[in-house]
Structure 1
Amino acid sequence: MARDLHHLLLLAALLQQLSATSAGDVATGSGGEKVHVAIYYESLCPYSARFVTNHLLKAYRDGLLDAADLTLVPYGNAKVDAHGAITCQVGSSPSPFGCRDAHTDVGILACCMQHGPDECLLNTVQACAIDAWPDVKVHLGFIYCVSDLVMKNRHREWESCFQKQGLDPKPVTECYKGERGHNLSLEYGRQTAELVPPHQFVPWVVVDGKPLYNDYGKFEAYICKAYKGYPLLEACRSPGMEAENDVYGRL
């Protein structure tokens, strides 16, 4: 009986391992590694919001994000001064009220980004959402909801996205009102500053370390081009999935 029990335990362990392997094969294909996709953007930039609500949503619905390791970086054209304050683009000055005019408790953030203090706030809120909910499908759902409101000129209703997505607002609220949110923004600023070549505009889309420049609207095609798994992803069989080869040759 002991031997039979031992065999049953071994069989259960083997089935569990096979199940995990099969799940991985479904997500990334046989022998295929996920494609690294990074999107550097600003929360209130209309081009960024349009990219999220149109292209990124389509990639999610088509199942392409199952083959991608997606990183969202909500920072864009902000700058960090010598004192660690986050300010807007070159040539502008920080808000005299610090970040308190954006309803945070940390005064060291200067919220005068390209689209004003609301953008500073929402960049930090989205950074906190990514931190609070590491599952890309969860934080992407929240960011999509906020971006959809941006496109409708209703971005100040962003807190409604907690209820719409069925999410607890507490971790994000505590984050963006405290130093955690500021530190996350500093980290995203560092990542943005270290881009090679530097970003020229937002959204700035990078696939497997290579920027797509003005061709970012075809980022799905570049995922298909970079993906080496088998079988070919169903979405990659669609017409119009041809990526421009010269973009990959610019570096």
Structure 2
Amino acid sequence: MKGPLLLLLTVWLYTQYGDCAALSSCSYPPSKWCSSLEAAVQCGVLKECLLSNFTKSHQKVDTVEVGLYYESLCPGCRQFLSLMLFPTWVMLGDIMDVKLVPYGNAQTCLLHMTGAAFPVIFCMESSGDVIKMAKNCMEVYAPDLKWESLMGCVNGDQGMQLMHQNALATQGLKPPHEYVPWVTINGEHTDELQDKAMDSLYTLVCSMYKGPKIPACGQSQKAYKSYCNKE
């Protein structure tokens, strides 16, 4: 049982049994108190579990979506993806989602065929030869995906359909895209957002995130000092 139905049932149970839940004998270890409705009621922590789940759901809703519309062989696109977007995602993956819309059959098929597409694409884009490194990158980051299967997509109707979908998504951008890489933040593009993303995507994502503060976006990063220029 998931979603709104579970939430409604949880609220109902709390209104019915919340006062007496603490009197029940709890046979679950603390790590399992929120593992089920029965455990939460028996251990008298239904309200706390409900609040915890509510907070987690809002943290997911509040994530910052960074969209990148790009050409897989474009030097500027490769630089932004490998030196800015991927490192930021590694550090801030808990508060950001990445939407990649590439012009290039191989990467489009990768996004469709494996959940590990972003690391594979980063590996390709940061290499000396995007196309030649595709197979090696797949073997490292997506070993369960067979090269033959990917090539079947790339060279077949499915790859063409996926590319067509990306073309429609790109053509539907408002304002229309004028160059690549074209960055959107939560589906929006402005010159200011583009400039901030190109200058420091990390800072931009932290500033756009409206959820609970996380250490990676806290004050500690401002205390960083460089001693490289000290004599």
Query: Are 1:13 and 2:41 counterparts?
Result: no
2:112 aligned partner: 131
* Aligned position for 1:230: 212
Q: How far off is 1:191 after superposition?
A: 0.5
Structure 1 residue 221: deviation in Å?
A: 2.1
Runs of 4 or more above 4 Å deviation: 7-12, 15-19, 21-24
Q: Quick check: 1:41–1:202 contact (8 Å CA) kept in 2?
A: yes
Matches within 5 A, 1:134-173: 135=115, 138-149=116-127, 152-153=128-129, 155-167=131-143, 168-169=145-146, 170-173=148-151
TM-score (norm 1): 0.61
Unpaired runs of at least 5, structure 1? 76-122, 241-251
Matched-pair contact (CA < 8 Å) for 2:63–2:95: yes
Pairing 1:38-49 to 2, within 5 Å after superposition: 38-49=67-78
Assess, with a 3 A threshold, how the Cα gap between structure 1 residues 23 and 74 changes in structure 2: closer, same or farther: farther
Matched residue type, 1:53: S
- Indicate conservation of the 8 Å contact 1:28/1:67, yes or no: no
The one-letter code sitting in structure 1 at the alignment partner of 2:93 is: L
Asked if 1:184 is matched to 2:213, the reply is: no
User: What is the alpha-carbon distance in structure 2 between the residues aligned to residue 191 and residue 32 of structure 1?
Assistant: 22
Offset of 1:239 from its aligned partner?
3.6
Q: Distance in 2 between matches of 1:33 and 1:162?
A: 31
Whether 2:229 is the aligned partner of 1:216: answer no
Secondary structure of the structure 1 residue equivalent to 2:211: coil
Asked if the contact 1:33–1:228 (Cα under 8 Å) also holds between the matched residues in 2, the reply is yes
Q: Does the CA-based 8 Å contact 1:43-1:74 persist in structure 2?
A: yes
Distance 1:12 1:205, change over 3 A: closer
**Structure 2: runs of 5 or more not aligned:** 1-23, 41-45, 224-231
Normalising by structure 2, report the TM-score: 0.66
Question: Greater relative contact order: 1 or 2 (C-alpha under 8 angstroms, separation 6 or more)?
Answer: 1
The alpha carbon displacement at 1:67 in A equals: 0.9
How many positions carry a matched residue from both structures?
Answer: 181
RMSD of aligned Cα (Å): 3.5
Secondary structure (helix, strand or coil) at the match of 1:156 reads coil
Conserved in 1, the CA contact under 8 Å of 2:69 and 2:181? yes
Whose Rg is larger? 2
* Residues 156 and 10 of structure 1, relative CA distance in 2, 3 Å threshold: closer
